[in-house]
Amino acid sequence: MSGTDDLLVEPDRLAAELDSADPPTLLDVRWRLTGPPGRDDYTVGHLPGAVFVDLDTELCGPPGAAGRHPLPDPAALQAALRAAGVRTGHPVVVYDGGEGMAAARAWWTLRWVGHAQVRLLHGGYPAWTAAALPTSADVPEPEPGDVSVRPGALPVLDAGEAARLAAADGGVLIDVRAAPRYRGETEPIDPVAGHVPGAVNLPAPEYVTDGRFPAAEALRERFAAAGVSDGTAVGAYCGSGVTAAQAVLALHLAGRPDAALYVGSWSNWVADPDRPVATGS
């Protein structure tokens, strides 16, 4: 079972680590679905020594039939991570604007390519500033890293696998979007409303509040209420695989490191008009 200390770090502890002789590499991944770009926030102020990495263009591939935030090209991702100073075997801490979604997708991406030593700053940039810890507008020039990208260290679902998981006895596919989107009553982003047939709805606010996670036991209870128990195969999806990455992180905290991410999520599912769409609850 993954421990909280392996996945999350609180601001005071991170501050102490940054003052050490060998601080972790810091990645600022602030992002908003509808903009403006997170780099604007980074320019105003960030954790000292943090390097900005763009979720849309560096941590994900170009949008298209594979989804709005598909898997990145491994070579391009490796170049971006090395430019940010990510080193083999060296700890990384990622943070965002406090929602925890972009940071979770960055965490997942690094774990997916085999970089195990990555944690999320719990509460993100707002938690850091609320603790009256220092910020900087200086843009660092990190020494290039040597990380090697080796995809496959975390499980991934494609559309067919997501459908089979949703339909399987002993399997649960969690849709973490808001209930009206799941039920097909509204769809503000993608061209078709509804959900993957057989998926169960567990909106993100049920397991995370303002980017902060409850204790592991509370998470286990909330996922159990959605049908996730010991031995249950589980995967998660959202609109484009960002909020669902946060669900996978929550499942890791709850002791389920086998949780799979449907990266393409709903934006990939509806790209094929032949795929069935369910509505209602």
Please say whether the beta carbons of 50 and 81 come within 8 A: no
| β-pair type (233-237, 171-175) | parallel
Vertex 260: Cα angle to 249 and 94 (nearest 5): 30
Helices 101-112 and 243-253, packing angle to 10 deg: 70
As given in the structure block, the two tokens for residue 46 are: 């960030």
**What is the identity of the amino acid at 109?**
T
Vertex 86: Cα angle to 36 and 149 (nearest 5): 95
CA distances from 238 to 62, 87, 100, 230 (A): 18, 31, 15, 23
The number of beta carbons lying within 10 Å of the beta carbon of residue 271 is: 18
First to last CA, the chain: 33
List the catalytic residues.
Answer: 238
Vertex 246: Cα angle to 245 and 248 (nearest 5): 65
CA nearest 145: which of 56, 93, 95, 80?
Answer: 80
Please say whether the beta carbons of 235 and 173 come within 8 A: yes
**What is the identity of the amino acid at 88?**
T
